[in-house]
Structure 1
Amino acid sequence: MTDRKAQLAANLAQVEERITSACAAAGRKREEVTLIVVTKTYPASDVRILHELGVRHVAENRDQDAAPKATACADLSLTWHFVGQLQTNKVRSVTGYADVVQSVDRIKLVTALSAAAVRAERELGCLIQVALDAESGERGERGGVAPDGIEELAAAVDAADGLRLDGLMTVAPLAGPFAGRQRAAFDRLMEFSTRLRAAHPAANMVSAGMSGDLEDAVAAGATHVRVGTAVLGVRPALG
């Protein structure tokens, strides 16, 4: 076993233990939570190792890094999640490899994703990114739609050709009433998810929690956690 494979295997085992313990503490079954490994800034070789170790969901946040990596790993059975803020000029490229876009936060993006998905003859899963730090009608620092805009955006995704409304995503806010209160933030997201599912029962995916707060996300009821650093190590600084 190579050093890198051994390192990733050990890190994955630790993360797996954390998720299993969090599920047990919350009275949930382990299979209720899907681990998505965020592979941004890491090479395709790491993605291949992760696949060997059983990982099936990976996430990227920059199209210029993700597109060549997805091509290099096209022979693997992987679900690719796009989790970064997405500009409309990158939509056609992202639609070529992403299975799920977790950062849908405006109508203009829905329109562009729909057109690209239809052109590519693909169905694209969409999560509405909720900015819990946003005031009414505002967008958050890390992207996302204000909570009072969820319903309108969900209806737009649901009505759009080539798109599938899968649920909600958030990033724990650095500012506003939920700063430093991850569990409260994720509980709030679950409230929005319950409301969304009343109108769209199939939209039951809730993506929340990262390396530092995955336990809070599992406790709140998240179905997917996005873990990068805890699996791959501290990222090299981007020049």
Structure 2
Amino acid sequence: MANRSYIYLKNGDEARILTEGIYTIPYFWQLFWDEEDLKAPIALWKTAEELEEDEEQAERFYQEQNVDILLPIEKFRQNALQNRSFLEENVPQSVQLYDAFVRYILANVKDGDVLGFDVLDIVFMDQVSVVSDKLLKNIGAIRENQPKDLDFSLTEKNLIGLAMGFPDYYASELLPEDNILDSVAYQDELKKMKPQEDKQGGDMTGADTKANKWRSGIVYLLILALVIRLIFYMMVKR
């Protein structure tokens, strides 16, 4: 099963998932944080890492502690607005989707919500110290507008998977307002991805055509062999 990360709206025991990352922490999410937001989670991740060999203690720890990154909505709003300029300057093609994503989150906020980030599965793909250092370095690079210092690439074209995360297709009931699936920005990104899929489909069609020709050739040779055998048999009979 793939290692996943989630961004969600949390209200008490209720969690409404917005999008998910697969084997990654999408980089839009990292624009919503500052160093202070990671201080407590990193300490908990390190404790969790130490307890991994003791299943009983680890289970008790996870029951007692929330190891996710949690942001007050107002702080999310401030960070999202403040760091938007980083994208404008360095990845202007991503701003449309970023704005739609931020709007989607804010449109679905309820009283008492906080914004949560469940990233532990991704953190545990490496040592906690290594991953946390990378995340803190990314935050600093964004703040100082130093894209060359980022641990992720801004040139990747798959903005849905690598920047925003894949939407939860069941979220329309829980997150009905300004659903990201219906946004112009999201649909535009899907269209950009489609030519690649079409090309792959074309390659597969070409492969099928070659396979069909090969199979036809085999059938032809078999028929030819039978005809030759029949002729030989008739000559012997004479």
- TM-score, normalised on structure 1? 0.25
- TM-score, normalised on structure 2? 0.25
**Which structure is higher in helix share?**
2
**Which structure is higher in strand share?**
1
- Find the structure with the greater CA-based Rg: 2
